[in-house]
Structure 1
Amino acid sequence: MDKEIIFLVEEAPEGGYVARALGHSIFTESDTLDAIREEIKDAVRCHFDEGHIPRIARLHFIKEEIVAI
């Protein structure tokens, strides 16, 4: 059992946030940061069998910024 799972969290082009797990087929989206945290918890619980659920989800927030030169 992994102790933690890592998610990349990005702002969605249409608004809100999307999150995807590294090394697992878990993807979720939501309108707010608070909601995406809850969606991640639910998605992890659904993906893993009882007794194999990671104890920690580490979220890496990615923000793309464009600078005109």
Structure 2
Amino acid sequence: MTEIVFLVEDDPDGGYTAVALTESIFTQADDIETLEEMVRDAVHCHFPNEQRRSKIIWILL
């Protein structure tokens, strides 16, 4: 896999949520800048093996 796409939505409780479209990855944060960091961290946790990890992460706002 060379890329992974996340869909970002407003969270009803405040902040934002991000859901990967092709993997079971979900994260949330209070602001977009923090959400970007959380997405990268979630991808690293989901794919601990760097060789299997996506090289490109798309965040669709």
TM-score range (shorter-chain normalised) is: over 0.9
Which residue of 1 is the match for residue 7 of structure 2?
Answer: 8
CA distance in structure 1 between the aligned counterparts of 2:22 and 2:54, rounded to whole angstroms = 13
Q: Identity across aligned pairs (percent)?
A: 45
| Matched ranges for 1:1-69 at <5 A | 2-48=1-47, 49-61=49-61
Q: CA deviation at 1:23?
A: 1.3
Structure 1, unaligned stretches of length 5 or more? 62-69
Count of paired positions: 60
Question: Which of structures 1 and 2 has the bigger CA Rg?
Answer: 1
Structure 2, unaligned stretches of length 5 or more? none
CA distance in structure 1 between the aligned counterparts of 2:18 and 2:8, rounded to whole angstroms = 4
List 4+ stretches of structure 1 deviating above 6 A. Answer: none
